[in-house]
Every structure is written in structure tokens, then in C-alpha cells.
Chains A and B, each alone.
Chain A
Amino acid sequence: MEVTVRLPSALRTRADEKSTVDLKLPEAATLADLLDALADRYPALERRLRDERRELRRYVNFFVDGEECRRLGGAATPLRDAAEVQIIPSVAGG
């Protein structure tokens, strides 16, 4: 299946300045699978989205078809064909 990832502006320098990335994933892929594929293509994104335990960064939100993944299955959230995943930093900091 194919999914589209939308990147925040701060991360585009780590992805050849792209704002969207299209990825082909196996059937029944999850958000974690998508992040694996994204890391293969753009390794510098990986540590900015997940720590070395593969846990999602606390202040980065991953909207799967408009719903933040933590209200779904977290990194295990299943993706559908033609899904759109928006990565947006949360409101944090001071």
C-alpha cells in the first residue's frame, strides 16, 4: 500500500527539503513500519521522531488520517492504503 507523510518545516532539511514523502509499505503496515521506512530513506529523521528504544518523541504528534496516534494505537496504529500521516510538533516549551 502507499501512504503519504507530511513533514513539519523544521524537519524538511533532513529530508531533501521535501514537505511530503510517499512511501510504499507492505499490507497491514503500522505507524512503526512507516517510521522504519522513513528512517531507511532519511536516516537523519529517525532520532528526531523516536529515541533509540523506538519510542515516539513525547512532544511530536503523529496524526493518522487526522487522529493523533496516541488516541489510537500509538506506534502500533494500523495504516490503510492511501493513508496520510501528518507529523506536527506539539505545543510545548517556553
Chain B
Amino acid sequence: MTTVLAIGTRKGLWLATSSAGRTGWEVTGPHHAMNDVYAVAFDTRRDRPRLLAGITSEHYGPSVAFSDDLGATWQEPDHAPIAFPEDTGAALARVWQFAPGPASTPEVVYAGVEPSAVFKSTDGGQTYELVRGLWDHPHRPQWHPGFGGMAVHTILPHPTDEARVLVAMSTGGVYATDDGGEHWRARNVGVQAYRNPDRYPEFGQCVHKVARHPDHPERFFLQNHHGVYRSDDGAESWQSIADGLPTDFGFAMVAHPHRPDVIYNFPIQADERRYPPDGRCAVYRSEDAGKSWDALTAGLPEVFWSGVLRDAMCVDDDDPAGVYFGTRSGSVYASRDEGDHWQPVAEQLPDVLCVRAVVV
């Protein structure tokens, strides 16, 4: 059994491969050198996993590349895979997220992009069309850029119902469709809007990440710009689960692949102090859906003033699950025992923007 970890950075993609039970890693790269790689995904619905990468050149703009041989070779369509239609007056800045659709639609792949929009592919992620329902949403003129840009950074297709998709954006908040993308409704009840005169508006929250376990499709976990929440009613309402964490700020939120009550988070001290609490590197795990949290530090640096971005933490689907995260200071850590112990996979890379793992 081989595990492949894709590591998207500010200056290219690295691929770490382990055939030794996730104890030793061979790292190759940079692939797509000098392109920032905000989004990677493994589409495992195919005979061979397809690796998708959203790549953006400072000079030559954004693109999508895919590989059907785990990064040995790459393909890019001649024509722009993702492009805004002329009437929108918009231009793609970068891809922030890929999300393969449910197993019932094996060629459907969603892409979340900057400026905030969702695109849908029906050819396995090679070419995409704008999802008009969200683009035409009457709230859109009131969505504003967060510090990192204005993007749909999270897409969670329902695991069995292809008509239902949930997205999150900064800023704007959470939106979901129940009819295949024609209509979208804000789902932010209970999520606070930091530095907003109205603390609980219908929309406008700076949601950083949302996660869901496929066995509990009505339950979501959300890391907000201050605030950590759970929803048990399909994102109709949200309740705080931040009490057991040292801080309610952060970016990452990851669901365990097999145990629906297990989630991972990487707390950051505060909006205006974006360091881990006490300068310690600690992943936090809850095994009871957010009621309580434990700090996981074994094998992690004791002095750590870096951070972990919203897509720079992931799990594989092995058993026991592997957990991975990359840092803004270019280190990548892996745990092969669900977070109890950690070891470095790579160090001194460019700042890590995203990680995704697959077991083949």
C-alpha cells in the first residue's frame, strides 16, 4: 500500500510518497515550479486516482493541471479550463478548491475560485462551466474580500444527493443549494461576523473552513474568523464548540475519515496575533464532535511561531487514519496514528498552502 501526499506551496507542488507504512517519505518537486498551488485534490472515483492542481503563475495567470499517474506527467487543456463568461465582466484570479462530486456522478468535479464563484466540470475536471445560480445571487455585490482575497474556498457536495452542495467563502459565509445549483440560500444562523456592527447577520461572515463526515451528511464543523461551530441540522443553525479550545481563531478544520465524531483543528491565538497559543505547535483533536478537545504535540516542534492555512491540513482514508499538515514556514508533518504522534515529511519548503493525501 502506498500513500501519496500532495503539498501545494507558494512556489510549486511537492509530492511525498510512502510505501513503508507512512514512516518514510520520498519527496519530489517542485512540480509546476514557481506557480502558487492553492488547490489540490485526488479524485478517487476513477480506476486510477486523478490528481488535480490549481496553479497560478505570477506572470501567466491561473490554470488547472491534472495527472492520471500521480504526478509523473501532467496535462493542461489548450483553452482555459476555467474562464468567466464574457457577460460577467470577471476574470479568474485563482482556483482555491476542488471537490469531486458524489460517486453517482463520477465525472462531476466542482471548483471554487477567486473572485467568489463555483464552477462545475462534467468531464472529470478538465473543463468547467460557471454555476450561474450562485454567481447571480442577489447577495453577491455585498460579498467582500478577506485578507487573502474573495474566494469560494470550500465546497462540500452531499455524499449521496447530487442536488445538494454546500460552499463557504471569505467573506460571505456559508451558502447551500438543494436543487443542483439553481438556487442558493445563506446558512449562517448562529455564526458571528467579527468586527461587524450586526454580530449575527444573514451573511457576510468570514468563514475560514467547513468540514463534514460523509456518514453524517447533516452535521458540519466550521472554523470562523473567531468562532468554532457545529451544525447538526444541515447547516440551518450553528452552535459554538470552541469552549475546549485555547482560542476560537484558526483556519483549518478537518473531519476524520471513519469516525464521525472526530475532528482536527489548529488554533491560532487571535486575528491580531496570528501565532499558535504560547508559540507551541499543537494540533487539537476532538473525539466527541467538539464537546472536548485534546492537544496533540508528540513529535511536533516546541517553539513554533508559524501557522497553518485553511487547506493545509488533511487526512487520508487509511485505518488508522493518517493526519497531515503543512506550515507557513515550509514544514510538513504526518501522523500515522490519528494524531497521537507526528514526524516530519518535509522541511524548508516554500510556505505550504494546501495538502491532500491518497492511499493507492
Contacts and interface: CB of A to CB of B under 8 A. Distances in A.
Interface of A: 10-11, 43-44, 46-49, 51-53, 55, 57, 59-60, 89-90, 92-93
Interface of B: 34, 57-61, 63, 76, 78-80, 83-84, 86, 89-92
Contact of B57 (A43, A46, A48, A52): A48
A93 B59 CA distance: 9
A53 B58 contact: no
Contacts of B84: 52
Contacts of A93: 34, 58-59
B59 A59 contact: yes
Nearest to A88: B59
A2 B66 CA distance: 37
A72 B156 CA distance: 47
A58 to B, nearest CB: 9
A11 B60 contact: yes
Contact of A51 (B57, B79, B92): B92
Contacts of B80: 46-47, 52
A93 B91 CA distance: 20
B58 to A, nearest CB: 4
Contacts of B91: 51-53, 55
B79 A43 contact: yes
A60 B61 CA distance: 10
Contacts of A48: 57, 59-61
A60 B84 CA distance: 21
